């Protein structure tokens, strides 16, 4: 599989045509997990310096590569914000709205900015909280600022899940990060549901309520602080 190297074409175009200087890339991680918060990061990189070599979509990097690149990104970034939506918020709002909430929090924590580039599709009403923005499908692979955000979000959430794994052994969170892998499902069957499991997700509901939940009723250095800010 060919490796896609993200481009700064969009950022440089926005700077050249509209005078934008602080352009946040935003990405999230943990949407499909059965346990743990959903985490988003917003990162603005300087436009007058060369991109960091090796930055690309966090899913294509090893854990060691992500950790190394995260340190470089944090040293060079002009703005960084990390936001999260808790398991309770995911279950109360649904995963889509909780993810948008995490992204809004990340943008707010990043501070003053001129423009935002978000990975994925347009989000209704997002400009009310983030200001002018553009949604780019596969932005985490194609857009440099969003790739940087994807790395920060992934490293932050992985560290969080490793800390939770130390307190709740038996689910494999130190390596599966809360995704519903076979070892995670085996841990659920053996140890039951914790306060960090998403009770609205089908993997958890099967443990709580039995096989009836299989009906299609539900859908499935230091980094910046993760504590949830007001919406």
- Does residue 82 contact residue 153 with C-beta atoms inside 8 Å? yes
- Domain with 120, as residue range(s), is 9-166
- Classify residue 205: in a domain, yes or no: no
- Classify residue 66: in a domain, yes or no: yes
pTM of the model: 0.91
- Classify residue 191: in a domain, yes or no: no
Cα separation of 161 and 88, whole Å?
16
Q: Give residue-wise pLDDT tens across range 166-196.
A: 999 999 999 999 999 999 999 999 999 999 9
Strand partners, 150: none
- Classify residue 3: in a domain, yes or no: no
**Pairing, β 23-29 against β 115-119:** parallel
- Classify residue 148: in a domain, yes or no: yes
- Classify residue 190: in a domain, yes or no: no
Q: What is the CATH number of the domain that holds 155?
A: 3.30.420.10
- What pLDDT does 225 receive? 53
Rounded to whole angstroms, what are the CA distances from 101 to 28, 38, 105? 11, 10, 6
The secondary element (H helix, E strand) that includes residue 79 is strand 79-85
- The tally of domains found in the chain comes to 1
Q: Give residue-wise pLDDT tens across range 65-114.
A: 999 999 999 999 999 999 999 999 999 999 999 999 999 999 999 999 99
- Classify residue 225: in a domain, yes or no: no
- Classify residue 184: in a domain, yes or no: no
pLDDT band at residue 208 using 50, 70 and 90 as cut-offs: confident
């Amino acid at each position: 599989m060919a490796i896609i190297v993200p481009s700064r074409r969009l950022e440089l175009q926005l700077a050249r045509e509209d005078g934008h200087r602080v352009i946040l890339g935003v990405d999230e991680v943990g949407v499909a997990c059965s346990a743990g918060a959903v985490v988003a990061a917003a990162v603005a990189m300087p436009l007058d310096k060369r991109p960091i070599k090796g930055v690309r979509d966090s899913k294509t990097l090893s854990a060691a590569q992500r950790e190394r690149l995260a340190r470089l990104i944090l040293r060079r970034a002009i703005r960084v914000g990390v936001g999260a939506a808790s398991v309770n918020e995911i279950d109360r709002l649904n995963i889509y709205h909780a993810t948008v909430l995490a992204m809004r929090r990340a943008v707010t924590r990043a501070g003053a900015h001129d423009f935002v580039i978000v990975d994925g599709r347009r989000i209704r009403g997002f400009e009310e909280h983030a200001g002018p923005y553009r949604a780019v499908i596969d932005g985490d692979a194609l857009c440099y600022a969003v790739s940087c955000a994807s790395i920060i979000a992934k490293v932050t959430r992985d560290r969080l899940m490793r800390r939770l794994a130390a307190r709740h052994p038996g689910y494999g969170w130190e390596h599966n990060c809360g995704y519903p892998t076979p070892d995670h499902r085996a841990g659920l069957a053996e140890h039951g549901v914790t306060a960090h499991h998403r009770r609205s997700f089908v993997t958890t509901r099967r443990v709580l309520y039995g096989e009836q939940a299989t009906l299609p009723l539900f859908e499935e250095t230091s980094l910046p602080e993760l504590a949830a800010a007001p919406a």
